Structure 1
Amino acid sequence: MGRRLGRAARDEGLVTHVVHYRYRGWNGEEAHLAQDAAWAADEAVRRYGDVPVCLAGLGMGGRAALRAAGHDAVNSVLALAPWLPAENTGTPLEPVKQLAGRRVLVVHGTHDARTDPELSFRLAARAKKANRDVCRFEVHADGHGLTQYRDEVLALAENFVGGALFGRAFSRPLQDAFAAPPPLGLRMPLAAGFGKSLRR
């Protein structure tokens, strides 16, 4: 994904980096992955100055990106199949206040057996109450790695990041997803072939 995004916005100066986490797992209140994502945003500012940052992640990395979104430099978050803790287990709900003022796109396969797509829907629904710039796409019959519709997912990511960081026009499906009230804009189907019309 980083290579695809870097190629798509090279002329606009987009630079992508992969965060190598220091620890395995979320590790409870330590939230090590979120700490590392916030460090990455700090490092982007140190290297490139006052630039907008989009945090992107898959699985537990998606949770880290969402949690670290409160960093001052972050203007957008792309969370693919984010791993979120089960609700009703006595643990607090995953916070969403840090997403205020950010563009947020969540993408989840409906047949994901590793991370529950219903949990990402509920988080997006709570976030949408305080931030209209939240949307979520469902990739029907796809699993955790979103490999069955890889090209469509990458095209959606490219369109989102280009709009969030550089003010490019969002595709009609993204515009509709942001504008639609819940649950419509949070259960937006990602159509097969998405992105082909954008390259014409």
Structure 2
Amino acid sequence: MTTGGPQPALEYRAAPGPTQRALAVFCHGGTVASVQPPRERALSLLRMRAIEQFVHGAAADRGVGTCLLRYRVAGWNGAAADAHADVRWALQELRARHGDDVPVVLVGHSMGGRAVLRAADDAQVAAVCALAPWTPPGEPVGHLRDRTVAVLHGRGDRWVPEALSADFADRARQAGAHIARFTIAGGHSMVRRAPVWHAFVRDVVLAGAGLAPWRADLRRALADSALAVPL
């Protein structure tokens, strides 16, 4: 990562107590191409912060620390894959703070979903939760073998059509991923039925980190690599 320009940052909320039993990293959406920093009032950032705050409130007493990743720039930017580079930076930063034996669950929306899926092969990542992920045709899946991935996508999404994550999930399953894809009424912003989105993320974080059992629908879907389960 270059120095001298914008730098990534983590908005970090520790769990009570001297140690963290698990960590969850939240990665918001962005745009195809931009070298400008994300806007402070961008809806994608505000929605992901709301989800992070909800999960922290629900999971901190079980030892889960949460982090909202602030990207250097708002765009993916082609081969630079800037958001993915920032997720890798965040994982290194958390290792430096907490060691390499604390499980990490990655949560990403839209461009952030693409970024966390790319980073799922990191040895410390216990599970990935991808919300309406932007997964263009040809997005790599081979690194997801034996990884645990839960996807939730709005059936009315006009920004990132759900067909993209359907194709991605099918290819990931064939590559050996433990992947479950759920769909929900609503669009890309995760505003409609927001409590369902929030609860889905909370449950994936807790179970993915090994701090709670998988809820029944997630357990069945992951075991069968079921695709397009409606919520």
* Both structures adopt the same fold (TM-score exceeding 0.5): yes
Counterpart of 1:38 in structure 2 is: 88
Of residues 179, 188, 193 in structure 1, which corresponds to 2:229? 188
Question: CA RMSD, aligned part only?
Answer: 1.3
1:56 maps to 2:102 = no
Do the aligned residues in 1 keep the contact of 2:107 with 2:201 (CA within 8 Å)?
A: no
Among all aligned residue pairs of Structure 1 and Structure 2, give the percentage whose two residues are the same amino acid: 38
Q: Secondary structure at the match of 1:107?
A: strand
Answer 1 or 2: which has greater helix percent.
1
Q: What stretches of structure 1 move > 3 A for 4+ residues in a row?
A: none
Counterpart of 2:57 in structure 1 is: 7
Counterpart of 2:187 in structure 1 is: 143
Greater relative contact order (Cα 8 A, min sep 6): structure 1 or 2? 2
User: What is the rounded CA distance, in whole Å, between the counterparts of 2:175 and 2:182 in structure 1?
Assistant: 19
1:16 maps to 2:57 = no
Do the aligned residues in 1 keep the contact of 2:103 with 2:125 (CA within 8 Å)?
A: yes
User: What is the rounded CA distance, in whole Å, between the counterparts of 2:144 and 2:107 in structure 1?
Assistant: 13
TM-score by length of 1: 0.85
Q: How does 1:152-171 map to 2 (within 5 A)?
A: 152-171=196-215
Q: How does 1:93-132 map to 2 (within 5 A)?
A: 93-132=138-177
Q: Name the CA shift for 1:62/1:25 in 2 (closer, same or farther; >3 Å).
A: same
Of residues 114, 134, 138 in structure 1, which corresponds to 2:179? 134
TM-score by length of 2: 0.74
Could you give the per-residue CA deviations for residues 23-61 of structure 1, whole angstroms, max 9, x where no partner exists?
A: 221111110100001111111111111211111111101
Do the aligned residues in 2 keep the contact of 1:137 with 1:189 (CA within 8 Å)?
A: yes
Q: Secondary structure at the match of 2:69?
A: coil
Structure 2, gaps ≥5 residues long = 1-50
User: What is the rounded CA distance, in whole Å, between the counterparts of 1:73 and 1:97 in structure 2?
Assistant: 18
